[in-house]
Amino acid sequence: MREFTQELENKYLSKYAALSAKSKGRERHEEPCALRTDFQRDRDRILHCKSFRRLKHKTQVFLAPAGDHYRTRLTHTLEVAQISRTISRSLRLNEDLTEAIALGHDLGHTPFGHAGERTLARISGTDFSHNRQSLRIVEVLEGGSGLNLTWEVRDGILNHTLSGNPATCEGKVVSWADRIAYINHDIDDAIRAEIITEEDLPRELVEILGNTSSKRINTMVRDIVFTSQDSPDITMSGEILDATLRLRQYLFDNIYVKSAAKTEEKKAEHILSELYEYFISNIADLPEEYKRNIDLYGEEQVVCDYLAGMTDTYALDVFSSLFIPSPWSKR
């Protein structure tokens, strides 16, 4: 079955697609699977790992949201995967590679979203970033020795951010899909939270991109597909790119930085700072699976690994158990 799939890839995919049979491989050799290509195996490993499951309780924009309909880091990841697959299928790229990168791209996100990421980078001295932590999870931490993913998946995970330059077209697709997803679902969540209304969005951008999230996603995806046909690059046309970047800047100005959604971030930063200082000073209190890495990576990195792996709710629980007195009762 694997060989049949590889034959189909070779026959039908674009000359710019990454073929699973020509992967640069894994750091540790493994025998091929009879049913699945290497990229399919990577997708499955990510989907079944603990770090992926924890994304359901990690912040996207709204810290530990009480409402059932706000995005979390997990639902964001699933939306990125869906958009990525649509673009890859339309461009005859490798859907399996695209999906694996998309599912793994945010595994290293901290609790409390980018506020947590900024806090760990500031206090740890480790140059922490969520994309490098995502790579660290799949190479080192998950399961005690990493997931041993292919080079192409690891490259896409590391380089999915705006400053990255993925080596494959599939990785570039995920980078664009990440932006398309968060721009549109963060608008949707902000409207649900009554931070903005649809009418607040700049009219000139709405006229270009669409007046609903669905229409805007469709405009952006179609533009990437038609602009990137038969090309080794994945990009948008000038008009749509300009409108997309201006809409993204609108989010920074009105939601990510100045809105009521950000009022709790100082508290989240305080929680992570206190947790970091506590475990640096009480390294023996770390779980055993993290303590065993101290000699290899140092205390600062290991404490970052532990804190970055926490969900919002677990970080709050640990902080409460360490710093909030429990009511006394006579027994």
Cα(94)–Cα(13) distance, rounded to whole angstroms? 7
Cα–Cα distances (Å) from 316 to 15, 218, 302, 307, in that order, read: 49, 38, 19, 11
pLDDT higher than 80, residue 286: yes
User: Per residue in 287-313, pLDDT tens?
Assistant: 999 999 999 999 999 999 999 999 999
Cα–Cα nearest to 315, from 283, 267, 280, 281? 267
Q: Residue 230, by phi and psi: left (phi above 0), alpha (psi -120 to 50) or beta?
A: left
Within 8 A by CB and 6+ apart from 97, the residues are 18, 20, 39, 42, 152, 153, 156, 168, 170
Q: What CATH superfamily classification does 2-264 receive?
A: Hypothetical protein af1432 (1.10.3210.10)
Spell out the domain ranges in the chain: 2-264
Per-position DSSP letters for 84-98, written without gaps between them: HHHHHHHTT--HHHH
Cα(74)–Cα(60) distance, rounded to whole angstroms? 8
Q: Where residue 171 falls among pLDDT bands split at 50, 70, 90?
A: very high
pTM of the model: 0.95
Q: Where residue 273 falls among pLDDT bands split at 50, 70, 90?
A: very high
Cα(199)–Cα(191) distance, rounded to whole angstroms? 10
